[in-house]
Amino acid sequence: MALSIPDTAFIIAYYRANNELVSCDPYAKLWVRPSLQKWVNEFATKVSEYDELLHCMRNRYFHLTLEELLGSGSKLLCINLGAGFSMYPYNLSEDLVTIEADFDDVVAFKKEAIARFTADGSLPSRKVRWINTDITRQEDQARLKTLLNDYKGYRKVIMIEGVFFFLNQGQINSVIEFCREILNTGDILLAESFEEQIKETAVFIRLKTYFEKELHSDGTTTTLPRSFYEELPGFNLKRSNSTLELARELELVPEDMQESEVLNEYCYFLVRE
C-alpha cells in the first residue's frame, strides 16, 4: 500500500508521540495508529534514523515560539496552513485562537476526532476553527480571508510547517503572496523548509527516492535558499533556527554529527513590515 501526503502528517504525529517530552506534544499520542509503526521503522532504515528526533525539534520550535508570542500580551490568532495533525492549541494557553487549514479529508477526519476527544475529556476545549482548503488556490484563499473578518483586533501569526517541501515554487509564491495580503504590520510569518545545500546530500537523495516510490510523488521537492526569506518583499527576517541546531542544544545527537548527514530543516521567523 502506498502512502499519501496526509499519511505523512500521521507519521510525524507518531514521531512526536514517541518523544513527547522533547516534542512538547503530549497529545500526539491520540493519533497513533499501530499500523504506521512499520513506515516509521522503514523510513529510519531506508532514509534517516535521526529524522524522528529532528521532526520533534521542529514541533518544539513552533510550540515554544507560539508560547513566546502568547506571552507578549496581545490577542493572538494563529493561522496554521497545512496543519495536519499538529496539536499546538491544546498544548498552549486557552487564550490562543486558531484557524487550521488543510485538505478536505484531513480536516473532516481531524474535526470529527477532536470533537470526540474533547467530549470524552482526552483533550481540553480550545478555540479552533477548521477550513478545508487547498492553500495554493486563490478561490480557497479568498474563503479563508473572509473568515478573518471575525478576528479584527487580533495579532496574526501564520505557520507553514512541513508544507513547502511538497509545493512547487509557483505555489509557494502564491501562498506567500496570500500571507503578505492578510498580514498587517507587526504580524508574524513562521515558515519552515529545507535549504539548498541539502540537495546534493545522500540522505536527501534517499528521501526523494523514498517519496517517489512510496508517495508516488512526481519528484517535486522544493528547497529554498536563506536568501529567499531574506529578500521577501514586505517581510523582515528576524531569525532562523535549524532542527539540527536545536537537537544539538539538547544533546540529542552525537557531537560530531555533520549537517550533511541528516535531514536538517530550517525554521524562519519573519515580521510583516
Ligand X SMILES: C[S@@+](CC[C@H](N)C(=O)[O-])C[C@H]1O[C@@H](n2cnc3c(N)ncnc32)[C@H](O)[C@@H]1O
List interacting residues with ligand X (CB under 6 A).
5-6, 8-9, 12, 82-84, 86, 101-103, 106, 133-136, 161-163, 166
Q: Of 28 and 97, which has the nearer Cβ to ligand X? A: 28
Nearest-approach distance from CB 75 to ligand X, in angstroms: 23
Report which DSSP code applies to 231. T
Q: Of 134 and 261, which has the nearer Cβ to ligand X? A: 134
Q: And the C-alpha cell for 146?
A: 473572509
Q: Of 118 and 132, which has the nearer Cβ to ligand X? A: 132
Nearest-approach distance from CB 255 to ligand X, in angstroms: 27
| C-beta separation of 16 from 25 below 8 A | yes
Nearest-approach distance from CB 13 to ligand X, in angstroms: 7
Helices and strands, counts by H and E, the chain: 11, 7
Nearest-approach distance from CB 122 to ligand X, in angstroms: 19
Which residues touch 216 (CB under 8 Å, ≥6 apart)?
A: 2
Nearest-approach distance from CB 155 to ligand X, in angstroms: 21
Q: Of 67 and 134, which has the nearer Cβ to ligand X? A: 134
Q: Calculate ∠ Cα 122-123-126, nearest 5°.
A: 160
| C-beta separation of 63 from 91 below 8 A | yes
Interstrand relation of 76-81 and 97-102 (parallel, antiparallel or unpaired): parallel
Q: Of 100 and 195, which has the nearer Cβ to ligand X? A: 100
Tell me the residue number closest to ligand X, measured at CB: 84
For residues 135-156, one letter each, b for 16 or more C-beta atoms within 10 angstroms of the residue's C-beta and e for the rest, the string is bbeeebbeebeeeeeebeebbb
Interstrand relation of 266-272 and 97-102 (parallel, antiparallel or unpaired): unpaired
